[in-house]
Amino acid sequence: MSLLRSFGGFGNYFTTNGNGTNVPFELTHFNRTGWYGYYVPQDIAGWMDALGGAAKLEAHLDAIFTTDAKSTGRDQADITGLIGQYAHGNEPSHHIAYLYNYVGKAHKTQAYVQRIMNEMYSNAPDGLSGNEDCGQMSAWLVMSAMGFYPVAPGSVQYAIGSPWLDKVTIHLENGKAFSVTAEGQSEDVYIQSATLNDAPHTPTYITHQHIMQGGDLAFDMGAKPNPNYGKSPADRPMTKIESKEVVAIPAVVTGDKAFPNSTKITLGCVTPDANIFYTLNGGKPMSYDAPFDITEDAKLTVWATKRGAIDSKKASSEFFKMAEFRDIKLYSKYADHYSAGGDMALVDYIRGGNDYRTGTWQGYHGIDLVAVVDLGKKQAVSDLSAGFIQDENSWIFMPLEVEFFTSKNGKKFKSAGKVVNDISPKEQGSIIKDFGVKTSRKARYVKMVAKNRGVCPTFHKGAGGKCWVFVDEVVVK
């Protein structure tokens, strides 16, 4: 599994390959991209070209349905209804089975659509494989049972799947009726051929106009796939954006936002043949030709051009030189998806903002936070504090209490004071609070223990579920 990386608001992603080299982001299989990596309904032709053609897209689709169903990292309630790592319980997946039509392999669409209908739906209290979410789980079944589905919202094309019913009639508001019949459907799932108003219909899609004109779409079904049905490029549905070219904003591929001495900046751009430019602290624009070092606080602004005529938007990010050496040892494990960049995030001199999702807050799920900061040498300390955020709507609460300790040798610690939380767990919105104590002693090591609430209170919609504690920056003065 690779790591997707984005720095400081730069909107393009890069992926780390197996040997640790950062390369432009590529859609290669599900674990790298998530469901949204498959969600390009507005420009499937462009997506296919970016992947390398129809065969590459087919392999990409095969991967999500056949890869190991086990996932790592955060537990997500929407990861339900699994076939491989296709998750029917998560609505952004709902079009994926139909994408085989777009590469001329309609029989694979037919097989997976039927499997989803048969395995993920039943007449029982748990008859849906995911949250109904305003009716989408049922809407998918209604459309798919009729035999077609709107892969691209706003397009006039409906991709053909495999009807689940012998006959369906749609009574239209214009007084006409459109019927779908499936000869042999009760036993067979593969379409052998189709007719529209008794005329051969070879495309693996119908249009909204076909429906509104009324008539009959009839399928001849069979037990074995017909690989020739929908094979011709002329018979495949397709979406394509043909507007002017867009140049992507460059991304920081390597570079630490906070650093002790220097950090090496490497830039990249997913737009082929783009020329990258940058400024430091608003200075003279420079062409990016090779990685460079930042040795002081700096504001980096980047953009790209292509053929000197098309410019990307500009994006900026700040980098900070640490004023003095500090290290930290964490005795609690933060959640991988809320790491804030790693172990050093709590002493990197960068404070989290009022949104826990921006990547600067470190999250701990259901456990207390215990951390020890090494100041590098014994010195006088007067103020000890740490910042926390509460967002009760996301199961994130202030710690019940935060206690600070000091030590000269890292072995024997003495309490410097405890702060008890005074913010109600019922307080709504995003709330930031610094828990701090004053002291007057010499120390090299500072320990912080933040007590997690444990489980959500009884009044909360997540009552009984594990609470989060989100922290950013342990401050020692």
Question: First and final CA of the chain: distance in angstroms?
Answer: 40
Side-chain-side CA neighbours of residue 273 (13 Å) = 7
Evaluate whether 407 touches 445 at the Cβ level (below 8 Å): yes
Pairing type for strands 401-407 and 263-268 reads unpaired
Are 237 and 105 spatial neighbours (Cβ–Cβ below 8 Å)?
no
Distance CA 445, CA 405 (A): 8
| pLDDT for the residue 15 | 32
**Residue 447 carries which side chain, given as an amino acid letter?**
K
What pLDDT is stored for residue 362 in this prediction?
95
Phi, psi for 57 (deg, rounded to 5): -65, -40
Query: How far is 435 from 445, CA to CA, in rounded Å?
Result: 18
DSSP-assigned letters across all residues of 312-343: PPPEEEEEEE-SS--EEEESSPPPGGG-TTSG
Give me the pLDDT at residue 53, please: 95
Q: What is the DSSP string of 430-477?
A: -EEEEEEEEEEEEEEEEEEEEE---B--TTSTTTTSBPEEEEEEEEE-
Taking the model in full, what pTM does it have? 0.61
323 vs 354: CA distance, rounded Å: 25
For the CA atoms of 333, 339, 345, 351, the dihedral, rounded to the nearest 10 degrees, stands at -120
Q: Which pairing describes strands 148-149 and 157-160: parallel, antiparallel, or unpaired? A: antiparallel
- Say how far apart CA 139 and CA 361 lie, in whole Å: 38
The pLDDT of residue 350 is 82
Q: What's the pLDDT score for residue 18? A: 31
Residue 443, pLDDT score? 94
Cβ within 8 Å of residue 467, ≥6 positions away: 365, 366, 395, 396, 397, 452, 453, 454, 455, 456
- In a 3-state reduction of DSSP, which class is residue 243? coil
Average pLDDT, 10 consecutive residues per value, the chain (477 residues): 27 31 33 64 92 94 82 56 86 93 97 95 86 87 96 94 95 97 83 96 97 97 95 96 83 86 92 92 95 94 84 89 82 92 85 88 96 93 96 95 96 95 95 96 96 95 94 93
| Residue 266 confidence (pLDDT) | 95
Tokens 């930042």 -> residue: 294
What the chain holds in terms of domains, given with CATH numbers, is: 1-26+244-321 (2.60.40), 34-235 (3.30.2080.10), 327-476 (2.60.120.260)
Long-range (24+ apart) CB contacts under 8 A made by 72-75 are 72/1, 72/336, 73/336, 73/337, 74/335, 74/336, 74/337
For residue 337, the model assigns a pLDDT of 87
Angle at 251 between CA 246 and CA 256, to 5 degrees: 170
